Amino acid sequence: MITWLWRVWMVNSIDGRMEEGQWMVLGQRISRSLSTSSRVHLQNHVLEKQKIFQADNNLPVHLKGGKGDLILYRITMGISIVGCCLSVYTLVKASLPKK
C-alpha cells in the first residue's frame, strides 16, 4: 500500500508537491482501496434460518442447526465434564495430607 502511494506521488508530482486536484484523486483512490462495502452482493439467508430455528420439532435451540451443532455440543460437554472431574481430583489431592 505504501509503495503504491509512493508511485502515485512520484507519477503525479512535479518538484515533490501535489496540486489540489491531485490530492482529491489520491483521497478517492485510498478510500476505494480501504472501503468496507461489499462489491459482491450476497443472498440474505435470514428467513431460511428463521424457519429452521422457529420450527416446532421439540429440539433445544442450540441443537436445531444440525449435526454440526450436535458435535460441538457434545465436545463442549465432554470438555466441561473432564474439567470438573480434574478440579474435584485436584481439590481432593490438595486436601489430603502427604505421608
Q: Which three cell numbers stand for residue 15?
A: 518538484
Beta bridge partners of 14: 17
Whether residue 41 lies inside any domain: the answer is no
* Residue 1 DSSP SS3: coil
Whether residue 38 lies inside any domain: the answer is no
Q: How far is CA 37 from CA 24, 29, 40, 42, 44, in A?
A: 20, 15, 9, 12, 16
44-61 confidence digits (pLDDT tens): 889 998 998 888 888 888
Whether residue 47 lies inside any domain: the answer is no
The percentage of the chain sitting over the pLDDT mark of 90, rounded to a whole number, equals 33
The CA-based dihedral angle spanning residues 77, 78, 82, 85, taken in that order and rounded to the nearest 10 degrees: 60
Whether residue 65 lies inside any domain: the answer is yes
Whether residue 11 lies inside any domain: the answer is yes
22-47 confidence digits (pLDDT tens): 666 667 676 666 556 656 678 888 99
Model pTM above 0.75? no
Among candidates 5, 51, 6, 48, which has minimal Cα distance to 27? 5
Whether residue 10 lies inside any domain: the answer is yes
Whether residue 62 lies inside any domain: the answer is yes
Per the structure, the count of domains in the chain is 2
CA–CA distance, 61 with 49 (Å, rounded to integer): 12
Q: Which three cell numbers stand for residue 71?
A: 458435535
Residues of the domain holding 28: 2-33
Whether residue 46 lies inside any domain: the answer is no
